[in-house]
Structure 1
Amino acid sequence: MAGSSKTNRKEGNVPVEHECPLNLLPRDIWVRIATKVASNSIHDLFNMQASCKVFLDAASSEVVYQHVTMRVIPLMSFLFYLDRPERRFIDRCVEAGNVDAILRQGLTEYFWIARRGIGMELLSRA
């Protein structure tokens, strides 16, 4: 039996006892779970993404970014994230249609950066 599993690994076939049990649930269930996690805590979402490939795939869905909570990110901090990963995260939330991220980005554009046109467009979207 040990020889057969060794042969399977060489061929690229993974024996049933070595498959990830997380793959037993469909992806949409994991996306729903990731959405609940994201709506409660960004830190937990990042921990979920870092834990395994199944969670990374589910937590990277557009639906998850629509529901991410922004309450732990101070409003003023949007100005300090210009070239950092946080900026890309916030931009992805805005692109996904996260209302809180759109509102914060609109306020930043309108009041602090003084780009009134873009700011008003984002505020009306929110």
Structure 2
Amino acid sequence: MAGSPEKDTKKVDVSVQHECPLNLLPREIWSIIATKVASSSIEDLFNMQATCKVFLGAARSDAVYKHATRFLGNHDGPERRFLDRCLEVGNVDAIVRHGFVEYLRFGRRDKGMELLARASTEGSVEAGYLSSM
């Protein structure tokens, strides 16, 4: 119809799937990076998790909890959950720390020695030294 007020409105699909550049690296690489971040600062690891889904997934991988090594002072809240997860996946440094705390701070000598012996058998020289003392 000539002169019709109707416009030629074709629906065009404008949704384009964009590949996230972060997905170009394998997840294992991001897990290694997250492990380094966690070893430096638990707070930085939490900030990394809040950045994007790729970092969230990498920062929550078992590898991060198993190999993160910085555990100083008393922690509550998210830091406590982080340390608990490290223990759960068998992080030797976390086991040594927990054994030491159980033995000296809480006076649970049996539990402390059990944890130190476990860490020693998993290769911790410090735990072997502490157990022998």
Taking structure 1 as the reference length, the TM-score comes to 0.74
| Counterpart residue number, 1:100 | 93
- The answer to whether the Cα contact below 8 Å between 1:68 and 1:98 also exists between their aligned partners in 2 is yes
Q: Please, which of 110, 113, 127 is the counterpart of residue 117 of structure 1? A: 110
| Counterpart residue number, 1:35 | 35
Give secondary structure in 1 for the equivalent of 2:69: coil
Render the CA deviation track for 1:70-115: whole Å, top value 9, x for unaligned. 25x22xx25xx3xx33222111111122222111111111112122
Render the CA deviation track for 1:17-48: whole Å, top value 9, x for unaligned. 3x322122221121122122222222221111
The Cα shift of 1:60 comes to 0.5
Q: Structure 1: where are the runs of 5+ without partners? A: 9-14
Count of matched residue pairs: 110
Q: Structure 2: where are the runs of 5+ without partners? A: 1-10, 120-133
- The answer to whether the Cα contact below 8 Å between 2:38 and 2:70 also exists between their aligned partners in 1 is no
Are 1:3 and 2:16 counterparts?
no
Give the aligned CA root-mean-square deviation in angstroms: 2.2
- The answer to whether the Cα contact below 8 Å between 1:39 and 1:68 also exists between their aligned partners in 2 is yes
Between 1 and 2, higher relative CO (CA 8 Å, sep ≥ 6) is seen in 1
Instruction: Determine which structure has the larger helix proportion and give its number.
Output: 1
Taking structure 2 as the reference length, the TM-score comes to 0.71
